[in-house]
């Protein structure tokens, strides 16, 4: 069944394309915005691969380096600096060769052949005050140590963001094996998990390994509920993903997740998780996730599964009334109100990426009209003395918006 890892880089597969697309659309916006802090960016591709696939397509390192160069070229920052580092256990030489053309005035990519989990702390130890971005795209789950993710939050970076490929089905499969249960779902996941070398058996070591990945033992209750037929395999995966996000939220303010559904609309194959402490990054990524999932939807439709409905990132049919109600519920939890961007990012973290950020602003517009919310704007009036009507914040223009629910 297992083909091993050697053919991973022969042809770039659909799921690699989707991951890289999510990264490729996000990085230009991220670099532009964060460079304006005038603090260096340290970008690390922690499981970088070869840099290039044998079919000539670029892998994540070359994609990021192209964006580094164009972002620095177009930046209005005083001295834009993006340091890059690429770690891979197996492909140091290939990585060096495939990134060599990016040794230029924008920097020399650092290539490390080694294990992310052994290298990363050393690499980050002198990056205090910098902006750190980690792209974490392993084959499987073994190297996803929660304690490391949790530690990064305390390093004193100016900012930190992570984009993680979490093979949540792979986790559930391993979790069931560790607890001597068969994990049965109607779809083959072999095309994804064949690259996961994690051998898990029913031993204490395996249980400990899974605890260290999940950041706790909450997954064991999920396996027990699955064994007792209280939930099916898909529901188990969903519950695990939610539990995992809850763990991450103990250390990071904003956590988003995009299930990646290839071929079938119904069930994800894995999840891309974005972690940040800044609302701007969270909103940019949420809008990016929504756009990418719309593209994916069109691609799946083209494979013959037509649908009249629109869907959110989690594959739920979009119901604007439901989004309105969620917004009202959320506002009820913050009686003193919240500034607009923080509110959007917190809303997406709480309910998932149910729409684009623009839809939430449109909902506020309605709420303001019918007196459901109070909107406090700074400045309160336009230069010509009219009441301000904006819902977008702009730090440079010193423009802020606070939303507070009335009539709770």
Ligand X SMILES: C[S@@+](CC[C@H](N)C(=O)[O-])C[C@H]1O[C@@H](n2cnc3c(N)ncnc32)[C@H](O)[C@@H]1O
Task: Give the C-alpha distances (Å, rounded to integers) separating 344 from 23, 171, 232, 284.
Answer: 21, 30, 32, 11
Shortest Å, Cβ 153 to ligand X: 21
DSSP state of 380: S
DSSP state of 133: E
115 binds ligand X (CB under 6 A): yes
Cis amide bond preceding 379, omega within 30: yes
39 binds ligand X (CB under 6 A): no
88 binds ligand X (CB under 6 A): yes
Shortest Å, Cβ 133 to ligand X: 14
> Taking the mean position of all CA atoms in its chain, how far away is CA 15?
15
- 90 or 382, CB closer to ligand X? 90
367 binds ligand X (CB under 6 A): no
Q: Measured between alpha carbons, how far is 28 from 82 in angstroms, rounded to an integer? A: 12
- 139 or 219, CB closer to ligand X? 139
Select the residue interacting with ligand X from 41, 71, 99, 137 (CB under 6 A): 137
Q: Which stretch binds ligand X (CB under 6 A): 113-121, 167-175, 182-190, 287-295?
A: 113-121
Q: Which two tokens stand for residue 117?
A: 């989990």
Helix 320-332 vs helix 340-351: crossing angle, to nearest 10: 110
91 binds ligand X (CB under 6 A): yes
Which residue in 320, 356, 360 sits closest to 340, CA to CA?
A: 360
Shortest Å, Cβ 353 to ligand X: 22
270 binds ligand X (CB under 6 A): no
Q: Which stretch binds ligand X (CB under 6 A): 46-54, 70-78, 145-153, 359-367?
A: 46-54
Phi, psi of 144 (to 5 degrees): -85, 75
Select the residue interacting with ligand X from 25, 30, 43, 139 (CB under 6 A): 139
Q: Which stretch binds ligand X (CB under 6 A): 45-53, 74-82, 219-227, 356-364?
A: 45-53
Q: Measured between alpha carbons, how far is 263 from 172 in angstroms, rounded to an integer? A: 21
Which residue in 278, 294, 300, 306 sits closest to 355, CA to CA?
A: 294
116 binds ligand X (CB under 6 A): yes
Answer yes or no: are the C-beta atoms of 252 and 275 closer than 8 Å: yes
183 binds ligand X (CB under 6 A): no
- 89 or 261, CB closer to ligand X? 89
How many residues contact ligand X, by CB under 6 A? Answer: 19
Q: Which stretch binds ligand X (CB under 6 A): 114-122, 149-157, 276-284, 362-370?
A: 114-122
240 binds ligand X (CB under 6 A): no
Select the residue interacting with ligand X from 24, 34, 42, 60 (CB under 6 A): 60
Which residue in 277, 17, 246, 244 sits closest to 144, CA to CA?
A: 244
89 binds ligand X (CB under 6 A): yes
262 binds ligand X (CB under 6 A): no
For ligand X, the binding residues in 191-230 under the rule CB under 6 A are: none
59 binds ligand X (CB under 6 A): yes
Q: To which H or E segment does residue 233 belong?
A: helix 233-249
- 119 or 280, CB closer to ligand X? 119
87 binds ligand X (CB under 6 A): yes
Which residue in 189, 176, 270 sits closest to 228, CA to CA?
A: 176
Q: Which stretch binds ligand X (CB under 6 A): 115-123, 287-295, 358-366, 377-385?
A: 115-123
Phi, psi of 122 (to 5 degrees): -60, -45
What b/e sequence results for 219-255 when a residue is b if at least 16 CB atoms lie within 10 Å of its CB, and e otherwise? bbebbeebeeeeeebbebbbbbbebbbebbeebbbbb
279 binds ligand X (CB under 6 A): no
Binding-site ranges for ligand X (CB under 6 A):
16, 20, 47-49, 59-60, 87-91, 115-117, 137-139, 143
């Amino acid at each position: 069944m297992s083909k091993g890892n050697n053919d991973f880089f022969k042809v770039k597969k659909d799921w690699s394309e989707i991951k890289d697309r999510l990264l490729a659309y996000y990085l230009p916006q991220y670099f532009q915005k964060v460079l304006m802090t005038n603090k260096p960016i340290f970008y690390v591709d922690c499981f970088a691969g070869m840099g290039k696939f044998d079919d000539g397509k670029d892998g994540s390192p070359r994609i990021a380096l192209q964006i580094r160069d164009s972002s620095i070229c177009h930046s209005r920052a005083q001295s834009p600096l993006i340091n890059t580092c690429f770690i891979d256990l197996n492909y140091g030489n290939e990585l060096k060769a495939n990134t060599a053309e990016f040794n230029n005035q924008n920097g020399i990519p650092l290539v490390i052949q080694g294990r992310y989990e052994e290298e990363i702390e050393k690499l980050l130890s002198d990056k205090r005050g910098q902006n750190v971005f980690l792209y974490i795209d392993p084959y499987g789950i073994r190297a996803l140590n929660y304690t490391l993710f949790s530690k990064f939050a305390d390093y004193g970076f100016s900012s930190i963001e992570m984009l993680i490929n979490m093979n949540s089905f792979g986790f559930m499969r391993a979790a069931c094996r560790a607890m001597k249960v068969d994990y049965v779902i109607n779809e083959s996941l072999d095309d994804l998990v064949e690259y996961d070398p994690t051998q898990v058996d029913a031993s204490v070591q395996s249980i400990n390994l899974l605890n260290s990945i999940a950041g706790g033992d909450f997954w064991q209750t999920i396996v027990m509920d699955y064994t007792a037929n209280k939930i099916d395999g898909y529901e188990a995966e969903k519950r695990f993903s939610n539990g995992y996000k809850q763990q991450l939220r103990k250390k990071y303010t904003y956590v988003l997740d995009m299930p990646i559904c290839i071929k079938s609309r119904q069930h994800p194959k894995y999840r891309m998780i974005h972690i940040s402490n800044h609302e701007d990054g969270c909103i940019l990524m949420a809008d990016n996730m929504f756009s990418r999932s719309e593209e994916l939807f069109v691609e799946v439709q083209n494979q013959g599964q037509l649908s009249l409905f629109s869907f959110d990132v989690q594959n739920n049919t979009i119901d604007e009334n439901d989004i309105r109600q969620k917004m009202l519920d959320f506002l009820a939890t913050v009686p003193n109100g919240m500034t607009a961007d923080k509110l959007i990012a917190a809303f997406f973290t709480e309910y998932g990426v149910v729409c684009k950020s623009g839809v939430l602003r449109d909902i506020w517009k309605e709420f303001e009209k019918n007196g459901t919310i109070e909107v406090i704007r700074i400045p309160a009036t336009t230069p010509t003395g009219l009441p301000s009507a904006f819902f977008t914040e702009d730090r440079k223009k010193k423009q802020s918006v606070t939303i507070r629910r009335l009539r709770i």
